[in-house]
Amino acid sequence: MRAIWKGHLKIGLVTIPVKMISATTKKRSIQFHLIHLECGSRLSQRLYCKVCQKEVKDEEVVRGYEFEKDRYVIVKDEDLEKLRKESTGMIEVFRFVAEREIDPIYYSDCYYLLPDGKIAIEAFSLFLRAMEEKKVGALAKTVMRNREHLLCLTPLNGTFVVYGLRFYEEIERPENLEGLQEVSRIPIDTKALSLAKMLIENMAGPFLPSEFKDEYTEQVERMIMAKLKGEELESVRQKERAKVLDLLQALQKSIEEREIPQKGIVTAGKRQRERRKRKVEDG
């Protein structure tokens, strides 16, 4: 797999040649184009000025920041060029933090970080082992594509996973969300809480990523292939369940449905109940 970036990992005075590889693939998605129904040709989008009532050429277009309604500050390419940072080719660690200290809401993209060449393996392996045993991640900064990026390096499966971190200003504070204050004030019915815990127990199980597929994309692909063959796929609608308005009733029915044996599926909740039953029988 081709590296998307090569440089150095700097920890204190230790510098390690490394390369970065994307840890994910782009989601398989269906791309559509806008087509003129009358002639079947693809439509193009054009820039149009409503004041001058004419199409505008690319060389006549500049960026503008709206500071008041319909009033803009013009920002040219040379203005932004003065602010661009030079890529350093360096991921510089500035702090180690406990693994669970970073709220997952800060994570964005993820990459694998690998040693680049035999000379890098010893130091790379040393810090990987040390961080695994200390159960810490490393906060780091780098400049890529003329922008500064905040990163977190975490040991995983014999290498480092590099997570891009969002900056503090990018996160919407929960205390600013309308109506959230009411959640902590509402009284919780003890019976409903007990049923909710029971439902959670019944639905518990391992996280197996391979179980989950993008069913919508697969259906769209089948529909497109059918159209190419001159066929039509029948629409399969799921039967609507009767609505349960009462919370306790909804919880109880949910638990009853989970109690019905499902072929090939043994939930953690079911295993726990079976263990308790055997203990009682064994006295």
User: Is 147 inside a domain boundary?
Assistant: yes
- Please indicate, yes or no, whether residues 16 and 123 belong to a single structural domain of this protein: yes
CA distance 15 to 18: 9
- Please indicate, yes or no, whether residues 15 and 151 belong to a single structural domain of this protein: yes
pLDDT band for position 181 (50/70/90)?
confident
- Please indicate, yes or no, whether residues 116 and 193 belong to a single structural domain of this protein: no
Q: What is the pLDDT of residues 238-249, one digit of tens each?
A: 666 666 568 888
User: Is 75 inside a domain boundary?
Assistant: no
**Angular region, 169: left φ>0, alpha ψ -120 to 50, beta rest:** alpha
Q: What is the pLDDT of residues 216-228, one digit of tens each?
A: 788 888 888 888 8
User: Is 230 inside a domain boundary?
Assistant: no
Share of the chain above pLDDT 90, in %: 35
> Cα–Cα distances in Å, from 88 out to 10, 91, 154, 189, 233?
11, 8, 22, 57, 54
Quote the domain boundaries for residue 13: 5-25+84-170
For the chain, what is the radius of gyration of the CA atoms? 28
pLDDT band for position 183 (50/70/90)?
confident
Q: Please, what is the average pLDDT of the chain?
A: 84
- Please indicate, yes or no, whether residues 107 and 139 belong to a single structural domain of this protein: yes
User: Is 55 inside a domain boundary?
Assistant: no
- Please indicate, yes or no, whether residues 107 and 194 belong to a single structural domain of this protein: no
Q: What is the CATH number of the domain that holds 158?
A: 2.40.290.10
**Structural domains of the chain, count:** 2
Please tell me the pTM assigned to this model: 0.67
User: Is 267 inside a domain boundary?
Assistant: yes
CA distance 221 to 30: 8
